[in-house]
Each structure stands twice: as structure tokens, then as C-alpha cells.
Amino acid sequence: MERKTLKFEVKDIDESDGTFTGYASTFTSVPDSYGDVVDKGAFKKTIKENNSRIKILWNHSVMEPIGKPVEMYEDDTGLLVKGKLTLGVQRAKETLALMKDGVINEMSIGYDTITEQIVKGVRHLKEVKLYDVSPVTFAANPSAMILDVKAVEHAISTNDIEPVKEAVKALQALLVKCEVEEPSPGTPEPEIEPEAAKLDEALDALLTIPDFDASEAGRKLDAMLATIK
């Protein structure tokens, strides 16, 4: 089974029922970091024939299923997936929270290649058999972006929300700087200590803002920072 990791273009998140919608794969003429292009139509047969067996896993781990796609189809952009996370599973709840805060915004698909074609040295995937779509920490393709988030708001004031947004932006910048393909076992971790120290200084400065809800922000940011330790 092959894996392909890319930025997950989240269109919508609803915390009330654990659902999210976004593109798990996009169609483009530009090869990804694996040197592949996924052609439109590659998922059509697997959606029809294998839909009920496709799972949402955490980092491709068959030991950590966290939900299932409830709707999948191809459009002109790519493979659009509406997934439902099983919120009775702790890992699923954590994943949804990280998606909402923009920390987990990358998806990897697990698949077998059924039909491929080499065109000018580029592998075009014409048909694949899809097994899972997995939220992951790092992506190989930086082309997609976050579009919108709909969620149940926490009881914090507008004055608190803006500093948290700025801190999240800083953390996102750090994650982008560290963006690599999913590391294989034994691969040294990227050198991020100087950048992390700078981010710590910025977060400390936030705590001096009047009426800033430090405990709430700290809880969220600790969870996000844990993903890059």
C-alpha cells in the first residue's frame, strides 16, 4: 500500500457532531513531492466499490481508527470528503480540536495504485484503490489552505480571541518552516529549537495583555506545541 500526504484543505468543521469537510486529494498538473500527479477520475471506481471499507485513521495506524467518511466524491478540484469522527474515542476528540485550531490541517491517503501512466517522466495515477484517509502532522504538498471553520465557541471575550489568533498564526509559521514529509523511523527530528524559543517569547508577551484568558489559551497552545516536540 502506498501513502500520499498533502495539505488538507478544510472547508468546514462542526464540533457539535464531529464532522469536517475538505479535500483529501487535489487534481493538479504540477507533480507533488513524490513526483506524482493524481488525475481526475482516479477515485471514481474505489468510491463506488470500496466506499464502506474506507476508514479515517490517526496517522495511518490501524490500531487507532477515529471515524469514517460519510460522503466522498470527485469534483473539478479533487476528492472532497465529509468525515465523521467518533467523539467517544479520545483521539478523535483531540484530532477535531487540533483541526479546529489549524494545527492538524494535513491529510494522508493510503491506497494501492491500480492504473498508472508515465508522461514525460511524471507518474500519473489513473486509478487507485483507497483504504484510508488519515489526519497527519506534516504534509508534502503545501498548495492547499484553510478556508473556513465553523465551531462551538468557547466562552472567552473578543479581546482574548484576537491575541490567541495571533499566537496560532505564529505557531502555524513555525510548523510551515518545519514542514517535511512524514519522517521514517530513525530520521533525526528537524532543528526547530531557536524558532520554538522565539515563539515562547511571543507567547509570554501575550500574557501581559489585560483581561487575557491565560489558562484557556495556554491549554490550547500546549496541545498544539505538543505536536512539534
Residue 147 has a pLDDT of 38
The whole-angstrom separation of Cα 76 and Cα 79 is 9
Is residue 67 over pLDDT 80?
yes
Burial of 195 (0-12, 13-18, 19+ CB in 10 A): middle
The verdict on 110 and 172 lying in the same domain is no
The verdict on 69 and 178 lying in the same domain is no
Q: Please give the model's pTM, rounded to 2 decimal places.
A: 0.58
Segment 160-182 mean pLDDT: 53
* Run of H or E residues at 96: helix 90-100
**pLDDT tens readout for residues 179-200:** 444 455 555 555 555 555 655 6
- Model confidence at 33, pLDDT cuts 50, 70, 90, reads confident
141 found inside a domain: no
Residue 108 has a pLDDT of 84
For residue 89, give the nearest of 108, 106, 67 by alpha carbon.
Answer: 67
Looking up cell 517522466 gives: 121
Domain range spanning residue 16?
2-136
175 found inside a domain: yes
The whole-angstrom separation of Cα 84 and Cα 23 is 14
